Structures are given as C-alpha cells and as structure tokens.
A and B are shown apart, each in its own frame.
Chain A
Amino acid sequence: MIKNQKTVVLFLFLPLFSLICLAVFKQSIRSGGREFTFPVSGYDPRDLLSGHYLVYRVDYQTSQNQCDAHSPAYVCLEPTRILSMGENPTCSAFIKGRCNERGSFEANIERFYVPELEAPQLDTAIRQGQGSIIVSVSSNGQAVVKEFLLNGLPWKQSIAPEASK
C-alpha cells in the first residue's frame, strides 16, 4: 500500500489531468488550424467503445494515391497537392499520417461520430458520393475533423428536411 500522500494525489488525479490535456490539445488544433475541405466516400460500421460513427476514405485530390504500407507519409496541401513518404515535409501546409496495410494514406480523420438515429441517413448519403469533411490542420501537420458536409451543407442542416418529411 502506498503511504506517500503526494503519490496518492498524483495517481488519483493523473487520469483527469491527462484527459484535460488531450481535450485541450485537440481543441487547439480544431480552433487554431487552417481549414481545408475534402470529398469523402465510404461505409458505416459499429464500435462499442467509441460509438456510432461513419468511416470513409478521404480524397486528398493528389495525383498519386498509393504509398508503401506501414511507412510514415504526408500530404502536401499547399502550394501543390501531393502525397509523399517520409517525415520532413517542406511544403507550407500539410497533413501528417501513415500508409495503411493497403497502401492508402491515413491521418486519423477517417471517422465521423454521429447520433445513432441519424447514422443510416448519413450512410446512404455518403454512398451516393455527396459527403465531404472540413478539416482543421495545425502548422505541424496534425488534423482534426470539424464538420461533415452533405451536398455542401453541414450534415445536421442537410438531413433536417429529410427527417421532417
């Protein structure tokens, strides 16, 4: 049994402190980054821990879409859109990520959480190729999804008329 009071306080409050740091980090990227919009296409699985979400492929609109599996990579967003491998991008705006086992670039923005009731409508819309995401990108290449768009409108606005029919 641990006797030191400081250690007890540290162990008891470390989870809360770490979670606050994580939320602040994510929020700083969301509110301080530059916004870019990308079209998406994909499907909708379930996950017990993180809830009902849409999983999609992001179209970065680069000329080359394939990279070596399991290697670090980045997508240059400005001045030209290009997918490159390695860890030291020289472009002015970029997203850092990795290549998955299928050789596709992933940057942990391939998921959008939605309320359970609205998920099927969104799923249908993405299958019809109408979805896109607004991503906030920090200066060091970290990215957070800000909004999911359907036909150019935020998804809540877009499916509201559908729900009222």
Chain B
Amino acid sequence: MTKFSKKTTQWVKLGFINPAQAKQILDHENGQSGKPWVVWGFLALGILVISIGIISLISANLSVIIEGWLELPSVAKLAIDFGALFFISYRAFQARQKQQTVKFEALLLALALGALASIGLISQIYHSGGELFQALLFWCLITAGLPHLSDRRIISSLWGSALLGSITYALFVLVDTSRLEMILDKRDSAGILLSEPLIAAWLTVIFRRLVDEKPITRVFQSLTLLSFLFYLLLIEIGLIHEFSRRAGNSSSMNIFAGLALALGFAILVNRNYPKTQRLLLLGALGSFVAAAFLGLERGDHLLFAKAGLTILTLVFAALFCAARNQTGSFQILLTLIGIRFLSIYFQALGGLAASGFGLILSGIIIIAAVMMWNKYRRAINSWAEGMFR
C-alpha cells in the first residue's frame, strides 16, 4: 500500500486529484485486503499437487493401504472415488449459488482433475487396454462443460491442451506410429507433428463458431500461435527432418498437406474476417506449409530460404494480429522477427561476428534496434492496425 500512498500524494501535489479523492482511492485499495488472484494461484497449485499425488497413488495401484491391516476391494475403491466426486460437484454447485467465486473455481479444477484420476482408477480395476489418447478424449468429452462454467484460464488451458494433444496422438494411430516409443523412434511422424498447429487452428475455427469468444476459444488461439512458433523453431534448427525417415513417400506429410488445404479453404470462405485479414492468414499458412516441406530437406544452401520463409510466416502472423488489435501477440511476433533478422546476420557473417569487430558491430545493431523499436513501436502498431482493418 506504500506505493499507492506515495502515488496519491504525488497526484495531489500535481493537482490531478484532490485530497478527498486520494483518501477514497486509498480506502478502496485498503479494502482489497485479500487479493483473489493470489489466493486462487495458491489454491490452484495446491489442487494440482494433490491431484498429481492421487494419480501417483492410483499409478502405484495400492490395493493394500497399510499392509496386512486394510485391504480395499475394487467396489470400495469405486465407492470412495464416486463419493468424493459427488461431494466436489455438490460443493461446487453450492459455491456457485452463494457466488463464492474462488471456492467455485478451485472445486471446478478439483472436479476436472478428479475425473481424470477416476478414469485411471476404472481402467485399473477393469484392466482396460487401449491408448492414452482414448482416455484423454473420454475425459475431454465428460468434462466439456467445465471450461464454460469457469472464468479462469487454467481449466480451459488444461482442457484445450488435452484435446489438442489427444487428437494429434490419435492421428499418429491413423498413420503407422501408434505407440509413443515409435514416435520417439523418429519414424514417419514429421507430418503429424507439423499438423499440430493446424489442428489447433481448426479447433479455434470450430470453437469460435460454437461458443464465440469464450476463454476456451482464446486458449485454442494461443495454442495455435504457440505451436506455430514451436514448429517453426523445429524446422529452423533442422530437427523436423529427423522425424521423417521416409520423407520421399511420407503418408504423414499427406495428412499435413490435406489438413492445410482444408484449413486454407475454411479461411477463404470464413466471412467473420474481412478480406484483407483472410489474405494475411492465408499468407501465414502458405509460408508455414512451404517452410515445413523445405524443413524436410537438408543442406546449407537452404539456410536463407528457410530463414526467409520463417520471417515471412512471422510477418503475416504479426500483421494479422495487428489488424485484429491483438497488441501483445503483435509485439511478441515483431520481437521474434527482429531476433531472426539478427541471427541471419550472424549466420551470414559467421567469421566476422566471431571477431571483436563483429561483436562491437552486433552490439551497436542490437542497441540501435532496441532504440528504434522503443521509439516507433506505437507508430508501427497503428500503421499495421489501420492498414489491414
């Protein structure tokens, strides 16, 4: 609160507010004693830790809780589990009725994670086989309503990530890499890995149509951007090539190309975006697809072509974010473009950069770039926003 008293005193001196208003501000801020986000943060952390503990206990399959003293039969385990879930659901309902927001959100998170642990328990009791993605898809299905009840991003993020991950894993089953160890064994999985941002983009399109701009839509939007950036990085460092042993006849790349084409068509006919924004999205998609196919090839001669496509993808994405008034994403993308340009300089002038002269020059470029950016970032943002509105 010291920070606020200093500020209000300063504002009174400058004549921005009168002493009565300063007192009102301080009284209001003093009244906000329990900061809900701090409480919520620790509660969420505690629930996550407890849930991981419960899942670990189920993983260990402790049929004997205390050896030789208490042995739990399967029916008792299920009864305790369902009883606990009922208690959580009921208390969540009560908390919502009483408008106890933090308690309600905490119970929702406990319910989501408890349902996941319960699927593990049922699988264990009935010795179910099957893949992890099937369990996750089932979890997504039965907890699909929870993100719509929550105002916090954590449940939507968990649910969205699980859905994206399980759909991607299911695609691996469609191709011949149905086990995780096979994916890690770098069989024909490049196309499926690269499909992840496209699937995230598809989910954004679908959820925007279904529930409009709810937190879950924004989560898929963030996952799209994050996965695009992640796979651009994999392409650039040449890692994606390692996941495609049979690049010449890759069925996974056919799936990738098919998904990209369908997404391109969906963008083209989507009337929710103005024409210029659709063109920017198509530009970003096209350059990402080109970068992905180029990423399967090896050779130093492709270094600048790969860098060029990465920058092109980032530029299209940045302009789209600016046109949508997503300032935060725009600034992140613009920073990444700057970093990529700087690394091109190092790649082009490797020998010189290693020398003292090169390092001095690099330092000057970095400082100049930061100063330019600091001076003109608002102007660039406004220009991009206005240009593609």
A35 to B329: give the CA distance in the assembly, Å. Answer: 59
B58 at the A interface (CB under 8 A): yes
Residue in B closest to A51 when the chains form the complex, CB atoms? B59
One of A15, A20, A51, A107 near B120 (C-beta < 8 A): A51
A26 to B124: give the CA distance in the assembly, Å. Answer: 12
A55-92 near B? 1/0 per residue, CB < 8 Å: 00000000000000100000000000000000000000
A1-28 near B? 1/0 per residue, CB < 8 Å: 1100001111111111011101100110
One of A2, A15, A53 near B142 (C-beta < 8 A): A15
A110 to B127: give the CA distance in the assembly, Å. Answer: 8
Q: Are A113 and B61 in contact (CB under 8 A)?
A: yes
One of B60, B86, B130, B151 near A108 (C-beta < 8 A): B130
Chain B residues within 8 Å of chain A by Cβ, number: 49
Contacts of A108 in B (CB 8 A): 128-130
Q: Are B142 and A115 in contact (CB under 8 A)?
A: no
Q: Are B93 and A30 in contact (CB under 8 A)?
A: no
Q: Are B142 and A18 in contact (CB under 8 A)?
A: yes
A30 to B127: give the CA distance in the assembly, Å. Answer: 11
A145 at the B interface (CB under 8 A): yes
Contact residues of B: prevailing secondary structure: helix
Shortest C-beta distance, B217 to chain A (Å), equals 15
Contacts of A145 in B (CB 8 A): 126-127
A36 to B64: give the CA distance in the assembly, Å. Answer: 28
Stretch binding the partner chain, chosen from B111-119, B219-227, B285-293, B317-325: B111-119
Contacts of B149 in A (CB 8 A): 1-2, 8, 11-12
Assuming the contacts A11-B148, A16-B85, A20-B82, asked whether A49 and B135 have C-beta atoms less than 8 A apart, the reply is yes
Residue in A closest to B114 when the chains form the complex, CB atoms? A15
Contacts of B112 in A (CB 8 A): 15
One of A2, A19, A22, A111 near B85 (C-beta < 8 A): A19
One of A12, A20, A110 near B92 (C-beta < 8 A): A12
Q: Are B129 and A26 in contact (CB under 8 A)?
A: no
Chain A residues within 8 Å of chain B by Cβ, number: 43
Contacts of B126 in A (CB 8 A): 23, 26-27, 30, 144-145
A113 to B74: give the CA distance in the assembly, Å. Answer: 12
Q: Are A23 and B124 in contact (CB under 8 A)?
A: no
Most chain A CB within a 10 A radius of its CB, from B61, B78, B96, B127: B127
Q: Are B60 and A116 in contact (CB under 8 A)?
A: yes
One of A30, A52, A69 near B61 (C-beta < 8 A): A52
Q: Are B93 and A113 in contact (CB under 8 A)?
A: no
Q: Are A19 and B178 in contact (CB under 8 A)?
A: no
A100 at the B interface (CB under 8 A): yes
Most chain B CB within a 10 A radius of its CB, from A15, A101, A112: A15
A4 to B302: give the CA distance in the assembly, Å. Answer: 57
A50 at the B interface (CB under 8 A): yes
Q: Are A100 and B178 in contact (CB under 8 A)?
A: yes
Q: Are B124 and A15 in contact (CB under 8 A)?
A: no
A48 at the B interface (CB under 8 A): yes
A109 at the B interface (CB under 8 A): yes
A44 at the B interface (CB under 8 A): no
Residue in B closest to A16 when the chains form the complex, CB atoms? B85
Residue in B closest to A52 when the chains form the complex, CB atoms? B61
Q: Are A50 and B85 in contact (CB under 8 A)?
A: no
B89 at the A interface (CB under 8 A): yes
A125 at the B interface (CB under 8 A): no
Q: Are A49 and B129 in contact (CB under 8 A)?
A: no
Interface residues of B in 3-59 (CB under 8 A from A): 55-56, 58-59
Q: Are B142 and A14 in contact (CB under 8 A)?
A: yes
A69 to B176: give the CA distance in the assembly, Å. Answer: 9
B326 at the A interface (CB under 8 A): no
A159 at the B interface (CB under 8 A): no
Shortest C-beta distance, A52 to chain B (Å), equals 6
A123 to B112: give the CA distance in the assembly, Å. Answer: 34
**26 intermolecular pairs with C-beta atoms under 8 Å apart:** A8-B149, A10-B145, A11-B148, A12-B93, A12-B149, A14-B142, A15-B111, A15-B112, A15-B146, A18-B141, A18-B142, A19-B119, A19-B142, A26-B126, A48-B55, A48-B56, A49-B135, A50-B120, A51-B60, A53-B124, A107-B129, A110-B129, A112-B127, A113-B124, A116-B59, A145-B127
Residues of B within 8 A of A (CB): 55-56, 58-64, 78, 82, 85-86, 89, 92-93, 96, 111-112, 114-116, 118-120, 122-130, 132, 135, 138, 141-146, 148-149, 151, 176-178
Residues of A within 8 A of B (CB): 1-2, 7-16, 18-20, 22-23, 26-27, 30, 47-53, 69, 100-101, 106-116, 144-145
